[in-house]
Amino acid sequence: MAYRFSQQTAAPDTRTVALYVRVSTGYQVDKDSLPFQKQELRNYCRHVLHIEENRLEVFEDAGKSGKNTKRPAFERMMTKVKAGLVSHVIVYKIDRISRNLVDFSLMYDDFKYNRVTFISLNEQFDTSSAIGEAVLKIILIFAELERKLTSERVTDIMINRALSGQWNGARMPFGWDWNEEKKMPVHSDKEAPTVRLMYDMYEETRSSCRVRDYFNSHDIATKRGGEWTTKTIADLIRNPMNKGDYRYNYRESAKGRRKPDEEVVYVKNVFPPLVPPDQWDRCNQIMDYNAKLRCSSGFPHKGTHIHIFAGLLKCGKCGSYFQVEKRDRVRRNGFAPSLYRCGRRYRKQHCISKSCSEVVVGPFVLNYISAMIRASDMRSQIHSPEELEKILLSDNVFQNVAGIVSDGLNATYAMLSGTDSSVPYRPLPLASHNVQEDDNVQKWEQGIVRIDRAIERLKKVYLFDDTAMSEKEYLETKNELERERIELDNKIKEQESTAFPVQTEDLAFIKSASSFLLAHRLKAGDHIQYNTFAPLVDDEVLKDFLNLVIKEIVVVDARITEITFQNGLTHKFLYRE
């Protein structure tokens, strides 16, 4: 008997080989410059790995620090990695991609999960072997140690400057401007009178709420053009700079935790006082007294509640987000709905939008999500957008809704019917929006052409005119032009990658909703009685679920007019008069 054996050869790997290059400044020595890194990586791929040129893709970040991952080209590369479209990530030196052990660990977990080989040329290792992986982790520990030592040296220098009364640089507070000649903050001619008025009003009214309402109602904006809140009022009154003192190293970050008193640098009489020091002391004593009063037994602090729709509701008249007004009385079944009202009306009383209650919002939203799930299950039976609309609005809670605006309805039908399943859904843009995007790309491409011409001219001037510029001037100018070119190139690639598949399924948000409602036996499609359903579910679970599914809910006169889902779908509702 003769036997025949067939040998099946593995299909060639066609995934992208990502070459990542980075410099932290516009001027660096040749051995760390972007062109040098790219050339070395290409040579390695060609002569050592024998990878074809058409599989290579370069990701460039110029002028970006390696201490974190907030870099456009890096983020674009990791998006492709997580989608399983990258086979190798190759760098010239390991600190080009990360100097932070935690960030690298998370990144490397993504590499391993998606079967990506990481290679660093300078350290001579790759993670396809156990030894290479171990050496990688050891080297990264020392890279992070170097970064932390550098950070400590910089911190010591800044502390010494602060102790001597020198300004270390920060955003100017309201009431102050930067004086370039003195290299110090000075009183702002425009804002200083407003600060003095604020202290006078607070000392008189003893209420930051009244001061806030006065300034907002008189259209007096903050330093950045926004509206005042009780916190921004309190921060300004608490700022010791206004009485001439310099406080440095007060928080771990701009809005982070306060540092221990022994780490804070406090130097008196550094600046000319913006308000009399004794008035500053009186206002802060009032603020201390009010804070103590709020925490006393006679003025109990409001208990902590989780408000299900907080952060999701937006006013359709003025564009401000709704704030929690109060939690309503508890019903017999334990249901205590939250009441919301427009934040602009809450602060300025200029918006006339009505308040809305969870009693109205809850049934609408959950029954609509349930209808979306039901439509997903029935998608093979839906043959037109009109049939889809009928299913979505079949519950009695939508009896006053006349219909759904066509753009969102058609996009949902296309997604459910699979007519455009190659990429995740994005809202259908207007024609003018597409033209604008094309114009931007064209401008960026033209900018790259101009920069390339400028680099060629610069090279000719440097090579053929000995008196034109020094080598350092040539390198600085050349690297600055290359940095601008990379930024434009990243913008083009980022625009092109908007159609890149980040999610594995179009209906991920519906599946998330489905699993949640199925766990509570509500997927059957029956009407959800929100006031009896909500008490059975933990508030935090319900809030997390809604934030997973929904991005924004627009409300006009206590009626939901628009829902935007996390995957980009937007449904606008038309109401009968």
Among 270-274, 351-355, 434-438, 549-553, the range scoring the smallest mean pLDDT is 434-438
Yes or no: say if 77 and 18 are a contact pair by the CB < 8 Å rule.
Answer: yes
**Is residue 4 over pLDDT 60?**
no
Greater pLDDT, 102 or 179? 179
Arithmetic mean of pLDDT, 180-196: 89
CATH of the domain at 136: 3.40.50.1390
Q: Which of 441, 462, 496 is the last residue of a domain?
A: 496
Strand-by-strand arrangement of the 313-315 sheet: 313-315, 550-556, 559-565, 570-575, 401-404
Do 418 and 436 lie in one domain? The reply is no
User: Minimal CA–CA distance to 485: which of 514, 510, 466, 458?
Assistant: 458
Q: How many residues does the chain have?
A: 577
Exposed/middle/buried for residue 507 (C-beta within 10 Å: 0-12, 13-18, 19+): buried
At residue 357, the 3 state secondary structure works out as: strand
- Domain termination residue (choose one: 270, 294, 318): 294
Q: Is residue 6 part of a domain?
A: no
User: Residues 248, 348: one domain?
Assistant: no
Structure tokens at 542: 């319900």
pLDDT at position 10: 57
- pLDDT for residue 496: 60
Query: What gap in Å lies between CA 414 and CA 451, rounded to an integer?
Result: 42
Same domain, yes or no: 129 and 42: yes
Residue 41's pLDDT is what?
92
In which region does residue 163 sit, left (phi positive, over 0), alpha (psi from -120 to 50) or beta (all else)? Answer: alpha
Please tell me whether residues 218 and 117 are part of one structural domain: no
Going by C-alpha positions, the residue among 325, 321, 292, 294 that lies closest to residue 307 is 325
Tell whether 213 is covered by a domain: yes
Is pLDDT above 60 for 522?
A: no
* Shared domain check, 97 and 38: yes
| pLDDT, tens digit, 9 for 90 and up, residues 461-474 | 777 776 767 777 77
Strand partners, 229: none
**Whether 519 and 489 share a structural domain:** no
Q: Let me know whether 20 and 89 are in one domain.
A: yes
Provide mean pLDDT across the span 233-238. Answer: 91
Instruction: Pick 279 or 542 by higher pLDDT.
Output: 279
The b/e string for 519-545 (b: 16+ C-beta within 10 A; e otherwise) is eeebbebeebebeebbeeeeeeebbeb
What's the average model confidence in pLDDT over 236-245? 90
User: What gap in Å lies between CA 274 and CA 193, rounded to an integer?
Assistant: 9
Q: Which residue has the higher pLDDT, 153 or 16?
A: 16
Is the residue at 163 inside a domain? no
- SS3 category, 499: helix
Give the C-alpha separation, 37 to 58, whole Å: 10
pLDDT confidence of residue 426: 40
- Distances from the Cα of 543 to the Cα of 175, 366, 535, 549, angstroms: 40, 12, 13, 10
Mean pLDDT of 149-167: 75
Whether residue 545 sits in one domain with residue 442: no
The confidence band for 85, taking pLDDT boundaries of 50, 70 and 90, is very high
Question: 532 pLDDT exceeds 80?
Answer: no
Structural domain contains residue 3: no
Per-residue pLDDT at 102 exceeds 70? no
Most distant CA pair in the chain, distance:
108
Residue 148: is it exposed, middle or buried by C-beta count within 10 angstroms (0-12/13-18/19+)? middle
Q: What percent of the chain has pLDDT over 90?
A: 15
Which residues are CB-neighbours of 195 under 8 A, at least 6 positions away?
174, 175, 236, 242, 274, 275
For 325-371, how does the pLDDT look when each residue is reduced to its tens digit (9 = 90+)?
887 777 776 778 888 888 776 555 567 788 888 889 989 998 898 88
> E-strand spans in 206-337?
246-248, 265-267, 313-315, 322-327
CB atoms within 10 A of CB 554: 20
* Neighbouring residues of 87: CB distance < 8 A, sequence distance ≥ 6: 13, 15, 16, 17, 55, 115, 116, 117
CA–CA separation, 297 and 27 (whole Å): 62
pLDDT above 60 for 511: no
Q: What are phi and psi of 555, to 5 degrees?
A: -125, 135
- Whether 510 is covered by a domain: the verdict is yes
Among residues 294, 316, 345, which one ends one of the domains?
A: 294
Total number of domains constituting the chain: 4
Q: What is the mean pLDDT of residues 430-435?
A: 40
At which residue do the structure tokens 């999960």 appear?
113
Average the pLDDT over each of 297-306, 373-382, 413-422 and give the range with the smallest value.
297-306
pLDDT above 80 (res 495): no
386 and 445 co-located in one domain? no
Question: Residues 452-460: what's their mean pLDDT?
Answer: 82
Residue 420 within a domain: yes
Q: Per-residue pLDDT for 519 more than 70?
A: no
User: 160-182 pLDDT, tens per residue?
Assistant: 777 777 787 778 889 999 888 88
- Both 439 and 421 in a single domain? no
- Dig out the tokens for 515 from the structure: 């699993």
The verdict on 290 and 309 lying in the same domain is no
DSSP three-state, residue 35: helix
Asked if residue 164 belongs to a domain, the reply is: no
Q: What is the mean pLDDT of the chain?
A: 78
Is residue 302 predicted with pLDDT exceeding 50? no
Q: Is residue 7 part of a domain?
A: no
Structural domain range at position 472: 431-496
Do 392 and 290 fall into the same domain?
no
At residue 170, the pLDDT reads 75
The predicted model gives 416-436 an average pLDDT of 47
Inter-residue long-range contacts of 138-142, CB under 8 Å, 24+ positions, other chains counted: 139/94, 140/94, 140/98, 140/101, 140/104, 141/101
Q: Is 59 a residue whose pLDDT tops 90? A: yes
The structure tokens listed for 400 are: 């006053």
How far apart are alpha carbons 97 and 100 in whole angstroms?
9
Give 264-293 pLDDT, tens digit per residue. 788 888 889 999 999 999 999 998 888 877
Q: Check residue 187 and give its pLDDT.
A: 92
**What tokens were used for 84?**
């399983």
Mean pLDDT to the nearest integer, 60-82: 82
- Answer for the pair 451, 484: CB distance below 8 angstroms, yes or no: yes
d(CA 360, CA 398): 11
- Residue 236 in this model has a pLDDT that exceeds 80: yes
| Reduced 3-state DSSP string for 478-532 | HHHHHHHHHHHHHHHHHHHHHHCCCCCCCCHHHHHHHHHHHHCCCCCCCCCCHHH
For the ranges 204-208, 228-232, 390-394, the maximum mean pLDDT occurs at 390-394
